[in-house]
Structure 1
Amino acid sequence: MKGKSDMWYLWMWMVYMLLLFCDLSYCCGSAEYFINGECCPMCSPGEHVYKHCTEYAGPLCKPCTTGSFMSVPSDLLHCIFCTVCDQGFGLKTDKECSPTSDAVCRPLDQHYCTEPDKKSCRLAQRHTICRPGTFIKRNGTILTNTECEECRDKTFSNKSSSQFCTPHTDCQSLGLQEITAGTDTSDIVCATRNDLVAVLVPLVLVPVVLVAGLSAVIGIFISSKFPHLSGKTLIHM
């Protein structure tokens, strides 16, 4: 009997020492929190603590107000403010905030997420617009930007966000003459031989006509102002 009594006292001493050195906050259950010497039950998701428990009564919990949430049991005195999906950050609301879950944001159309946050997004940017002279190599998604690539030799694109580059026209295969070279943003301009003559003749004749007309005007002006010099002037002209 004495041996059993000694064992019981030893066990009680060990329990006492454990309680003495144990931080009671760690001795509370997983759904409890330590406050004022008590292990209080946490408030349920969708609620916050309004008054802590006492020796005689449990905690007083209140529902989260509009614009706030609590997704897990907690001992917090206030619910967490809901995330706002701001269009200024390139975002829109994918899932509305509820008392037990935060709002979920996703990129606006033609935007991609640059700062993912679990199943949501904190910041998004507009997809790159592929300029003329390039084409879309890979379309953008909600997680990746658009990839552009330069038009290769003898091809062009003359508008933004082209899906492909178009080969330059082969004037020779059409029996035509090239009058303007192609670039990465414009096609070759072709013309028939008659069209080419119709284009080149005015280009040659117009300067000649302008020079002749200007000379005639100058001659008339000199003749009217300096009659005695008109002969010499005209000879030199």
Structure 2
Amino acid sequence: MIQNAAARLVFNLPKFSHNTPLLRSLHWLPVAAHIRFKILMLAYKAKNGPASSYLKALVTPRTAPRSLKSTSTTQLVPPSLREKVLVLYSSTVSLILAQNETTYLRELPTGQKLLCNRCPPGYRLQKHCTETHQTLCQPCDEGLYTEVWDYIYECLPCRSYICRPHSVCPSGHIVKEKGTPFKDTVCEPCRKKRSADGHLACGQHTECKLDERLLLCGTNYLDNVCVNCSSIVRQGWVKFIIQPFIEIFKNHNTWMLRRFIGSLTNSLDVCLSNQDCCFQQLEEWFSKATEQQVSNLPEIMQAAGIKSHDITNIIEQKLTKIQDEVCICRNILPDHK
């Protein structure tokens, strides 16, 4: 109630307009501070705006306005306690109202003043604005926040308890311990020759049938990929490796790799902002790519400066294995020798 009343006084809102920006900014205040804030708001309204007559009477000086300098001496006369309190209240309210400002003045060493943009809620200042560039902001990390427009270098830690969804085990892992209201899910990797996609049990790798060849060996997050020679020669091999290759990229996920995927698929903004959409774009690229384009992936990745040599080597080894199997199949099928 105290928060609502104070917020409504500042913003001149009707009685039931509870959802105000200032109210959201005050949710963390202790009760004692709520009471002081309400008094502060009432004093500010009584001194500077409409308020009840009895409140105005309380803050109106009971003596005529006087100069700071005494008429009988050359000494300055200090303000009364009431005047000090009103000045303090007014200054504090001005600071609170300034929280909704979206710009701030910055003075350069030369004396020039710049009007800079503040960072929006949820962001912190990375670099002040200059004569040629506006303010550079950066999102707060997990567990940190900013609630008002600001230009501070560090976000504030979240102190309130909040609910978060349980973690989902990544590919190649199973649920070791289910999550509870007080503990997150615990995952563990699958043993050799088994794979999983985040479920409760690791499955045995699929055994290829007599008329099939092992195109890609399974890992702890991928099952064996088995195909028959007729399918791989007549329909091409790209469609059989799309999902395995997507999983390889996911399990070596880095910012640099997503940047490469964004350049490859012409969706750089999407890849840098949403990794799920990024891998969807990569899957779409694979579905349209030729065998030659997929075969050239390791060279393209090296030319792009991908620092993770593991993923480049893994893809290169798997492509070599695929091409060897394709050659064997073409020799087996008489029409494709």
Per the normalisation by structure 1, the TM-score is: 0.30
- Greater share of strand residues, 1 or 2? 1
Higher helix share: 2
